[in-house]
Chains A and B, each alone.
Chain A
Amino acid sequence: MSWFQDIDPAWAWSDSEFRDRKIGLRGAAHLLRRTGFGVPSDRQQEFAELTSPEAADRLFPDAVTVVEFEKSSAGLRRLVLGTGDTKQAAAWWLYRMRQSPDPFREKMTLFWHGHFASSIDKVKETLLMVEQNDLLYKYATGDFYAMARGISHDPAMLIYLDSVSNRKRHPNENYARELMELFCLGEGNYSELDVQELARCFTGWEIKGDRFRFNKYQHDGNTKKVLGKTSMFADDEAVGWVVDHHSCPKFLAKKIVTFLLADEPVPPIEFLMPLVDTLRNENMSFKGMLHKLISSNIFYSDQVVGRKVRSPVELAVGLLHSLDMTVDLVALSDRLYNLGQGLFRPPSVKGWLGGRAWINSSTLLGRANLVELLLREEKTKFAAGSLEETLKQKGAQKPAEQLHWLLEQLMAVPVPDGVQKQLIQVLKTSKDSVEERLRITVSAIATLPEFQLN
């Protein structure tokens, strides 16, 4: 039975519990883990002093805050496109996740990448994948109408869905089907006839020379009936009509709640209605809904904290943030692919399943090995010079303080006392140097079941 059913949606989506009090260090750590990657301690301190609405406000920085970073990122983007190497493109995105002053937007871009999944393995052209990423980033926390229209003309998407050509004599139904089933409405909210009619609306759409082109001679200009509406549906009007459908905000709200709140159970639609209404009232713009979600009582509740499985990207980039490390990002992008989350390479049109699907006996070992590798690699550097120095700067010098700090930064849920005792023994009694003991401890923490939770 879903615990959602025992909770009053009005209370759940209100910010009454934290409206007048600070979210504190633990609340800040939870917020930063879910809306970004890991817990950078300076940001944790900053957010701990805020109420939940203030903290949510701060997760939507204005353009001035990110302008310098965007300049530097644009230079990197040019380089990546100059090489045409997708591994470099993946490294560029990891760089953004690690360094961006707007990690929430990066996190939501990652969400949309899984939602509007396309893979370089089929698209082949790095430029197209990067341009798709630009589009997803642009609307990641904004206008879904614009995003849906953009993705409908996106060369990478249409190549990925075998829809580079759609002629009126043989309408290609691939994109029309996925737009309704996977992108906007979900199964059961449309009919086979709607797919066929929607496909007619998209006739004349072509990808030529890696660019979208509307071929008016191949467009079916007759009237179509899509989701109960009869119209000529010129240009991309039909995309807007699909987004207008009452199922669309429900479908999206459910996916976003699963992404940001808890992998399971799947929330009943009645529970989500306050979010759905916000989304609809704001004309399918996400900012209000996201703000409501991350400042809500339910977001900070025990039912939610530590109830998600870390994706490989969250695990790796989170570690870099939490321990203030830098690593070889090109190599990291490869390793993430081996763990099932290759950036620009989702496994299928359904994207990543997430949740428990991240974990099996093989990936569990792989995740622990990844942490070990990140700690040991020659190119790995700690901002403070060493892990020992990092902890020293945070005021953690004695073994008990060091373990406490590491657990607070790295774990979303408490670790059993027995395990803590074993970990403290490593820090106290090992014959290795302090630095080595700390690295062994972090590696040991990475093998704990609790470490897999976010």
Chain B
Amino acid sequence: MSTTRSSFGGVVVLAVVCLFATFTSALFADEERTASSLMSANVVAYIELTETDSLIAHLLDREFGKRIQEVPALKAALQSNQFKQGLVVLTLAEIGLNTTWREFTQDFTAGGVYGAVEANGNPVLLVKAKSGEWLDQAREKVMNIVRTQAKRSGNSDPIKESNYRDLTTYQVGEAWLGYVGDWLIVTQHEKTCHQVIDRFLDGADATLADNKRFKQAKANAGENLAWAFVDAEKIRPKNPPDQLKYTDNILAEILFGGILDVIRNTPYATSSIKIEGRKLAWEVAAPFDAKWSGESRQHFFGKQGKGEAPLRLQTKRHLASMAAYRDISQAWLRYSDLMTEKAADGLAQADATLATFFGGKDFGDDILSTLRPQVQLIVSGQDFEEFPLKPTIKLPAFALVGTLRDVKTMKPELRRVFLSFVGFLNVVGAMEGNMQLNFDIQEDDDTSLLTSSFLPIKGKDDQRVDEAPIQFNFSPSVAFRGDRFVISSSKALAKELATAKAVQTTASNTDIYADGEQIGAILKQNLESLIGQNMLNEGHTREQAEQEINIILTIVSAIRGAELRLVTDDDLIRVKLQLEVSGSSEGTSDQAKQ
């Protein structure tokens, strides 16, 4: 009995999906009707999937999907009893429909799947089938299956029929279904369903297709697997809250500050997804005008919004990086206009402290302003084999790379500050009984390298070389080469970055990159630590901890790399994410060409 009910439940779920395709009428021609012309002018969000067949192929047959299916969580889900039950129901349905589910889906969604949300929150789903005739036949079959199953299970007819303008509409659970031409309509309210039918039959003066922002967005949309539109003007409050004006810490301001101005002003935003081979590209775009930021956030976009990130420097064990156009000096000096009052108070205090540290010089005006507005933060793996004392927890090194405006003046100044910094750490360390830093200078014709490294703990002769404390990950250093200035957590990275060459990347305001293989490598280096942390933080046994950590490693190893770019052009701002799953064939297009 329970099996029958379970199967019935599955079939009902399937029916809700399949009923999208069950109703057709050959009475109406709809060549001139597009999904947007059937949607209300009040739509605030819209999404379309016009290449469903291709999407399914990418997810199931092609490289991208195959790699994703190897992710343990998904693999486990695909082997779960629930999934297997679903497959049984699907097979039954396939027998009933005399077709495969894939063929069925292909025909059912041949014209695309379209969803929208109206300003009042009502959702609308439209599906355009292969043809009205096909939809009619499918409807007959699915209705028969659903009703037969209900009868067998002793349940009443789950489908309630009614009539509107000589068309039959249906209520299944909380959904209203209608059909007209080769379109299936699914709504939450009867009235919404009727309105779509009216638009189809009569046309309408004001639909989503007539929305000028939608028109403009659609004109810019290329070919995508999925495309979405949000009418920002309709959803944005008239008086934007402070959260859309001010940030609450300087790092957030530097990273995302400019985006707030876009959110507060842009009339709409679009989003699209493409998959090519092992790469998934996701893009969010919105109209952009550099004037929106005025001068206050010029630090983010630069003059006329033309600020460009420096070319990404490549290291041997490049883990992650962010190269960006950011005038940090300007951001620092304007903080009271950009940040919440509390955050600005905190920065005012920090400003005073930093002035003391930098020998009375103003941190924003005299120190930060010596850097050009192109900066990059680089995280890189370390070669621990070369470490005399290897830390138990192995951390990557990180560095900030900038370009000096006035090398002659600033190089000695920054050297002095670095020396003071190391001295300060040693004094504090001595007071606390902590390790001391040893200072060293290496000069050649082109590069100056100022390094510091922790001295082995005096008296601890029995200290094992591969069980050093976490501090041994760090050897704070700075490097100067030409106008390039590097401040790094490690000597090796400072040295490497002083001469590192740039990767050919397309111009952007911000370029963030993460390398899945290197992240996987650092995780593997720390496998024992990760397992240990899991045992302590979760109370797990070693076996349980190993299992959990292996899942994380498999997920990371499935991703070869990810790139996120913020690009501005004359009238658009785009956030482009490219995710590449790992595989055996050629590498990413923008990989290092040193």
List B contacts of A75 (CB < 8 A).
528, 531-532
In the bound complex, how far is the Cα of B541 from the Cα of A329, in angstroms? 12
- In the complex, chain A residues 188-231 whose Cβ is within 8 Å of any chain B Cβ: 208-211, 213
Contact of B81 with A by CB under 8 A = no
Q: A75-B528, A78-B392, A83-B393 given as contacts; is B536 within 8 A of A91 (CB)? A: yes
CB within 8 A of A209: which of B432, B459, B540? B459
Binary interface profile of B, 389-405, with partner A (CB < 8 Å = 1, else 0)?
00111000000000000
Q: Is the CB of A327 within 8 A of B539?
A: yes
Asked whether B458 lies within 8 Å of A209 as measured between CB atoms, the reply is yes
Q: Which B residues are CB-close (under 8 A) to A379?
A: 537-539
In the complex, the answer to whether B537 meets A328 with C-beta atoms within 8 Å is: yes
B535 surroundings in chain A (CB, below 8 A) = 76, 95
Minimum CB–CB distance from A155 to chain B (whole Å) comes to 10
Partner of B528 from the list A79, A98, A125, A208 (CB cut-off 8 Å) is A79
Tell which of B433, B459, B533, B539 touches A79, judged by Cβ atoms closer than 8 Å. B533
Which residues of the other chain, A, contact B433 by a CB distance below 8 angstroms? 124-125
Asked if B459 and A210 make an inter-chain contact with CB atoms under 8 angstroms apart, the answer reads: yes
Does B469 make an interface contact (CB < 8 A)?
yes
- Say if the beta carbon of A99 comes within 8 Å of chain B: yes
Contact of A208 among B459, B468, B469, B542 (CB under 8 A): B459
CB contacts under 8 Å to B, within A82-98, are 82-84, 88, 91-92, 95, 98
A82→B458 contact, CB < 8 A: no
Contacts of A99 in B (CB 8 A): 541
B191 within 8 A of A: no
Interface residue B467 (Cβ < 8 Å from any Cβ of A):
yes
Asked whether any CB of chain B lies closer than 8 Å to the CB of A120, the reply is no
Minimal beta-carbon separation of A328 from chain B (angstroms): 5
Q: Known pairs A78-B467, A80-B536. 5 more at Cβ < 8 A? A: A75-B532, A78-B392, A82-B392, A328-B538, A332-B539
Q: Which of B432, B459, B470, B536 contacts A84 (CB 8 A)?
A: B470
Taking a contact as CB atoms closer than 8 A, the residue among B531, B536, B541, B544 that contacts A88 in the complex is B536
Flag if A82 contacts B537 (CB, 8 Å): no
Q: Is the CB of B470 within 8 A of A209?
A: no
Asked if A72 is at the interface of the complex by the 8 Å CB criterion, the answer is yes
Least CB distance from B436 to A in Å reads 12
Contacts of A213 in B (CB 8 A): 459
B interface residues (Cβ-Cβ under 8 A, vs A): 391-393, 432-433, 457-460, 467-470, 528-529, 531-533, 535-542, 544
Docked Cα-Cα span, A381 to B537, in Å, equals 12
Q: CA separation between A95 and B534, bound complex, in Å?
A: 11
Which of A79, A327, A332 has the largest number of chain B CB atoms within 10 A? A79
Interface string of A379-406 (1 = CB under 8 A from B): 1010000000000000000000000000
Residues of B with C-beta under 8 A to A211: 459-460
A76 touches B539 (CB 8 A): no
In the bound complex, CA of A329 to CA of B538 (Å): 7
> Do A79 and B393 touch across chains, with their CB atoms under 8 A apart?
yes
Which of B457, B469, B529, B539 lies at the interface centre, i.e. has the most chain A CB atoms within 10 A of its CB? B539
Residue numbers in A under 8 Å from B457 (CB-CB): 209-210
Which A330-388 residues sit within 8 Å CB-CB of chain B?
330, 332, 379, 381
**Measured CA separation A74–B489 after assembly (Å):** 29
Is B539 within 8 A of A82, CB to CB?
Answer: no
Nearest CB of chain A from residue B415's CB, rounded to whole Å: 31
A320 interface contact, C-beta 8 A: yes
Whether, in the assembled complex, A326 has its beta carbon less than 8 Å from a beta carbon of chain B, the answer is yes
A232 at the interface (CB under 8 A from B): no
A79 touches B529 (CB 8 A): yes
B532→A76 contact, CB < 8 A: yes
22 contacts across the A-B interface (CB closer than 8 A)? A72-B542, A76-B535, A76-B536, A79-B393, A79-B533, A79-B536, A80-B532, A82-B469, A82-B529, A83-B392, A91-B536, A92-B536, A95-B536, A125-B433, A325-B539, A326-B538, A326-B540, A328-B539, A329-B536, A329-B539, A330-B536, A381-B538
Known contacts A208-B459, A210-B459: does B469 contact A81 (CB below 8 Å)? yes
Is there contact, CB below 8 Å, between A81 and B467?
yes
Q: Which residues of A contact B (CB under 8 A)?
A: 72, 75-76, 78-84, 88, 91-92, 95, 98-99, 124-125, 208-211, 213, 320, 325-330, 332, 379, 381
Q: Taking CB as reference atom, which chain A residue is nearest B461?
A: A211
Q: Return chain A residues, CB-CB under 8 Å to B393.
A: 79, 82-83
Q: CB distance B392 to A79 under 8 Å?
A: yes
A255 to chain B minimum Cβ distance, whole angstroms, is: 31
The answer for the CA separation of A88 and B433 in the assembled complex, in Å, is: 21
Residues of B within 8 A of A330 (CB): 536-537
Are A210 and B539 touching (Cβ within 8 A)? Answer: no
Going nearest first, the 3 A-B pairs with the smallest beta carbon separation are A209-B459, A82-B392, A326-B539
Residues of A with C-beta under 8 A to B470: 82-84
Closest CB-CB distance, A382 to chain B, in whole Å?
11
Q: Which residues of A contact B529 (CB under 8 A)?
A: 79, 82
Q: Which residues of B contact A81 (CB under 8 A)?
A: 392, 467, 469
Chain B residues whose C-beta falls within 8 Å of the C-beta of A320 in the assembled complex = 539
Least Cβ–Cβ distance between A224 and chain B, in angstroms: 29
Chain A contacts for B542, CB-based, 8 A: 72
A92 to B529, CA, bound (A): 13
In angstroms, Cα B540 to Cα A328, docked, is: 9
Contact in complex: A79, B532 (CB < 8 Å):
yes
Q: Knowing A327-B539, A328-B537 are in contact, say whether A210-B460 is a contact too (CB < 8 A).
A: yes
Q: Name which residue of chain A comes closest to B464, CB basis.
A: A78
User: How far is A209 from B436 in the complex, measured between Cα atoms in Å?
Assistant: 12
Give the residues in chain A near B538, CB-CB below 8 Å. 326-328, 379, 381
B539 near A98: Cβ-Cβ < 8 Å: yes
Which residue on chain B has the smallest CB distance to residue A125?
B433
Q: Which residue of A lies closest to B532 (CB)?
A: A79
Nearest chain A residue, comparing its CB with the CB of B536:
A91
Q: What residues of B have a CB within 8 angstroms of the CB of A95 in the complex? A: 535-536, 539
A205 CB to nearest B CB, Å: 15
A80 CB to nearest chain B CB (Å): 8
Report chain A residues within 8 Å CB of B467. 78, 81-82
Residues of chain A lying within 8 A (CB to CB) of residue B533: 79
From A125, A325, A329, residue with most partner B Cβ within 10 Å? A329
Q: A326 to B470, alpha carbons, bound, how many Å?
A: 28
A232 to B432, alpha carbons, bound, how many Å? 38
CB distance from A401 to the nearest CB of B (A): 27
In Å, the complex CA distance between A210 and B458 comes to 9
Q: Please report the C-alpha to C-alpha distance between residue A325 and residue B457 in the assembled complex, in whole angstroms.
A: 40
Residues of chain A within 8 A (CB-CB) of B536 are 76, 79-80, 88, 91-92, 95, 329-330
Interchain CA distance A75-B469 in the complex, whole Å: 14
Q: Which residues of A contact B458 (CB under 8 A)?
A: 209
